[in-house]
Structure 1
Amino acid sequence: MKFYQRLAYYSFGVLLGALFVAFVLTGKDTRCSYFPNERVLNNIRTKPLKYSLEASRKLAEDWIDTIDIKNTLTYGDVDFDKSNVKYEDGKLYWIEGYTTLKDTIQLKIVNYETRAVLEDIVRVKTKKNVP
């Protein structure tokens, strides 16, 4: 078998393999989140987020916005000492993050099977130096 024939067979095989891998992995969440903090935040982010009446009132104020909630759910830290507690039919999580004004906030989120509910937003008075 000549070189160009072997190259053609090899290229055809690589193309078929690439198509198979693309077909298998398309549309799936292929992110790897092994740490507990990232797993909890990823689980909450993948569900529809509902707001309680108290959280809606605080979001109407000027010091916090939904962008701050989104950033906290992406880059925040889960306080496992107060979290992972059974609450009604779900689990309660306290997530600490920062606003765009560099204020520290804590989100009280109840994680159910099909949805997550933001119960309360607590503003911590201390300001920290955040990058």
Structure 2
Amino acid sequence: MKFQQRLAYYLLGLMIGAFAVYFFMHQKDTTFCYLPNCRVLKDIRNKPLTFSDETEKMLNEKTITLDEVKNCLTHGDIDFSRSNKVVEGGKLYVIEGKDKDMKDITIEMVNYDNRVLFKSFTNK
């Protein structure tokens, strides 16, 4: 068998295999989440969210909306140089993201074993 035929069979098999893997992974709704930023945000999103008095007041005054917080927890970036500090029995995470007007915002979350505390919010 010539090299061109072997290459064609190889590429055909590779395409069929890649399509099968994509199809099965898409059906299971799996995501690639092995990087530190993604893993921490996914862990925070999967726990119940509680609010401090300060952030509840901001939510009631519409300074920030819950949708903006959820957007930060989905698309935000964690500042690890200011994060991962033990605070009140949990770990503090500083998450930088965008609000609905595409302005920079920073939120602080304390990640406990069974819940997440929305500690503070600042505009930049």
Calculate the TM-score normalised by the size of structure 1.
0.70
Letter in 1 for 2:53: L
Listed one character per residue, the Cα deviations across residues 1-37 of structure 1 (whole Å, up to 9, x for unaligned) are xxxxxxxxxxxxxxxxxxxxx9xxx7xx843311100
Q: Does 1:93 align with 2:93?
A: yes
Q: Distance in 2 between matches of 1:105 and 1:61?
A: 17
Q: How does 1:33-112 map to 2 (within 5 A)?
A: 33-112=33-112
Q: Distance in 1 between matches of 2:93 and 2:87?
A: 10
Give the drift of 1:100.
0.5
Q: Distance in 1 between matches of 2:82 and 2:35?
A: 18
Listed one character per residue, the Cα deviations across residues 81-124 of structure 1 (whole Å, up to 9, x for unaligned) are 00000111110000001110122111110000000000111111
Structure 2 stretches of 5 or more lacking a match? 1-23
Letter in 2 for 1:56: E
Q: Distance in 2 between matches of 1:76 and 1:109?
A: 12
Q: How many residues align?
A: 99
SS at match of 1:106: strand
Letter in 1 for 2:100: T
Q: Distance in 2 between matches of 1:44 and 1:62?
A: 23
Give the drift of 1:62.
3.5
Give the ranges of 4+ consecutive aligned residues of structure 1 lying more than 4 Å apart after TM superposition.
Answer: none
Letter in 2 for 1:109: M
Structure 1 stretches of 5 or more lacking a match? 1-21, 125-131
Structure 1 vs Structure 2: percent identity of aligned residues? 42
Listed one character per residue, the Cα deviations across residues 30-86 of structure 1 (whole Å, up to 9, x for unaligned) are 433111000000000000011111011112233421100000000000000000001
Q: Distance in 1 between matches of 2:117 and 2:43?
A: 13
Give the equivalent residue in structure 1 for 2:121. Answer: 121
Calculate the TM-score normalised by the size of structure 2.
0.73
SS at match of 1:94: strand
